[in-house]
Amino acid sequence: MLTGRYPRLLRRSVLLAWLAMILGSVSAHAQSSYIPPTIAIPIVDLIDQNHVSILTGKTQFSIKALELGGLSFAPFSWGGVHFQQGGIIDNNYGAVNLCAGAAQNPGGYVICSTASGGIQATHGEERGNFGFDGTNYYPDSADGSTFVDNGATCTWTQRDGTKIIYYAYHPTNTTSKACQSNNISSIVHPDGRVDTYYYYGSFVQGAYTWSPILSITTNTGYMLKYIYSGTPTFGSETNVIGINLAFQNCSPTALTCTLSSSWPTATLSWVTNPVNPCDNFPTGGVINPCNHYTFTIQDTAQRNHIFQLDSYFRITSYQPPEATSPVFQYTLCSLLNQDSNPSGQPMSNCFGMTRSLICQNGVNCGFNEAPYLWDLVSTVTRNGATWTYQAGFGFAGSLQAQASWAHAVVSPLGPVMSAGGNGNASSYLYTGIGPINNVQLFDGTVYHYEASTRNVLTTATSPLGVVKTFTYDPTRSNLIQIQTTPIPGSGTTQTPILKAVFPELTSGPNPVGVYPCVNMITCNKPTAVIDANTNETDYTYDPVHGGMLTQMDPAVQVNGSGPLVRPQITQTYVNQSAWYFNTSGTMASAPSGVWLPATQSTCMMTAANPATGVCAGGSTDQEITTYSYGPNSGPNNLLLRGKAVTANGLTLQTCYGHDTRGNKIWETSPNANPASCPTY
């Protein structure tokens, strides 16, 4: 039982008095009940209930099998990336490769969706395309992100300031001077968290040929440990273990570790299922047309995700954890071995097409539609009902003109979900991951996108006809306005407008017209948000880590009749280092610290000094929350240990306890003036 320093009844009376004081101050508080609006681009779910992407027309799975301390392990399959035995890709791998327009391999994976001449940086399912002029890189998305070749490394800095650092290589057998890579070195987050990668053996050179990960560690004391049954090779891990290095010594370069306790583990397992007759697919490489496979991902809660795969490792059925037999049955468009008919390659389950179109009556000769249809889902059967999928490509006269693609799915009850997109003269087809033109959901909501490489959402129209229009700044693609048009015929003429202001552009554009960002960590954060009633909330941020320093809300009248005061939240931060077993097996402080919230203060009746946060009414008018993260000794993962609230001379502190996996397992009631919170 947790006990405080006062008898229970006394503690309860102190707590009630404290609550009465706080509740009484709210009605007269300069802190209004105003909730600042958030201006954000809507997240459009483009994966239907059958796990099929309406953009690519292919199955799309991402199974998060393990999470610990900000690290995760999630094998994924989408856009032609298969759950291939001995080649599983997960959210931790990344690469930098030369763009190749819309070129595809037989699996249908598109390297880039834009013109050749640039590079694509990837991290798991994230990707960033950059044009390259021989010296500098420019983001196709015009979102303010950057890519820099440092020689031994190259760095993709995302728009929030996160840096993904790759081991670089520059092939000698190519004329391109662009940086390329197969392996991530580290990921540096704006708040100071660092994820460091460890690999087995020497780095492999060549596109999409990753080295096998041994471990990923953080400077907060956590590790993902990849376990292999034999010599490590990329994608052949059998287990991935999440370890808290504050309580378990394990070298990141070791193949295995002797563990003193049970740590959360994800398990990958395979069963080979011979089939007769064999698949009539073109073969090569690791493909054995006479073998199918059962692939199981078991997560840390020992829930099984079971997939049936054909000889090309394509998903033909999926059994989710709650089921006892396959629930989703997939029929896929397939190329078949060539027969005696020379007029095109035979195809199966390809939306009514039985042969690939090598030449269309003398027009577009040389274009082969088959690679763009390969892997696309034709039908899905679930619980006796069938969803029917459609796909097609069109040309306006010739390959040199505008190209378009369209995907759709018809549900058993009739509603349709669809998407369409367009290409350009240099890349012909975007095949589902380039610019989108429109998306329509089953409920009738329609989204339209800008026909450009940045491809931002421009309008969203509800089934009733309410239209939201999204406006962006032209250089970093920050959302600066949302305007809502009411239902036609409703009689409402008001068009609410939500606005955001971003840091001023401080220098001229570079050669391609993109204004540089002075500080990536803060330049894409709004300095003001204005609601539909012109109420303005202003923000400032720390230039080092991007944490919010102040939030100043619209003016309120104290007690309903006093002066107008703009309530302000002021935050400070502390840089603290975790303690855990280092690579030498010694409990020690991390090599670098992490920025954590230290205090948050507000004024109860008067205005705060915008620069300092000091209340005009003095310390008796100030309410301060102080956060603590444990001592400067180990073990310590920098988890929140305590939160103390001080007002009117009284301090109440809440303490938190965690298990070795970082889960909060207990919390104390607020106690008056405790000396400190206990350790683990």
Segments in the chain below pLDDT 50? 1-28, 102-110, 360-362, 364-365, 396-401, 424-432, 506-509, 511-513
Number of residues written out for the chain: 680
Please report the pLDDT score of residue 401 as a whole number. Answer: 42
Element (H, E) at 8: helix 8-27
Please report the pLDDT score of residue 515 as a whole number. Answer: 54
Please report the pLDDT score of residue 364 as a whole number. Answer: 47
Please report the pLDDT score of residue 326 as a whole number. Answer: 97
Please report the pLDDT score of residue 481 as a whole number. Answer: 96
Q: Is residue 269 part of a domain?
A: no
Domain that holds residue 614: 1-30+555-680
Q: What total of structural domains would you count in the chain? A: 1
Please report the pLDDT score of residue 104 as a whole number. Answer: 38
Q: CA–CA separation, 239 vs 338, rounded Å?
A: 40
| pLDDT tens profile 459-516 | 999 999 999 999 998 888 999 999 999 887 777 777 889 999 988 654 444 544 455 6
- 3-state class (DSSP) for residue 463: coil
Q: CA–CA separation, 290 vs 310, rounded Å?
A: 9
Q: CA–CA separation, 153 vs 94, rounded Å?
A: 13
Strand (E) positions, 524-648?
528-530, 536-541, 548-552, 556-557, 564-565, 568-576, 579-581, 587-589, 594-603, 622-628, 642-647
Please report the pLDDT score of residue 258 as a whole number. Answer: 94
CB burial string 244-253: b at 16+ within 10 A, e below: bbbbbbbbbe
What are the two backbone dihedrals, phi and then psi, of residue 86, each rounded to the nearest 5 degrees? 75, 10
Q: Is residue 679 part of a domain?
A: yes
Structure tokens at 359: 């030449």
Q: Is residue 294 part of a domain?
A: no
Please report the pLDDT score of residue 421 as a whole number. Answer: 83
Q: Which residues contact 203 (CB under 8 A, 6 or more apart)?
A: 167, 169, 182, 183, 211
Q: Is residue 623 part of a domain?
A: yes
Q: Is residue 650 part of a domain?
A: yes
Contact 201, 212 (CB under 8 A): yes
Indicate the residue type of 205.
Q
Please report the pLDDT score of residue 395 as a whole number. Answer: 55
Structure tokens at 86: 């001995």
CB burial string 299-334: b at 16+ within 10 A, e below: bbeeeebbbbbbbbbbbbbbbeeeeeebbbebbbbb
Q: Is residue 98 part of a domain?
A: no
Q: Is residue 676 part of a domain?
A: yes
Q: Is residue 506 part of a domain?
A: no
Please report the pLDDT score of residue 423 as a whole number. Answer: 56
CB burial string 146-178: b at 16+ within 10 A, e below: bbebeeebbbbbbbebbbbbbbbbeeeeeebeb
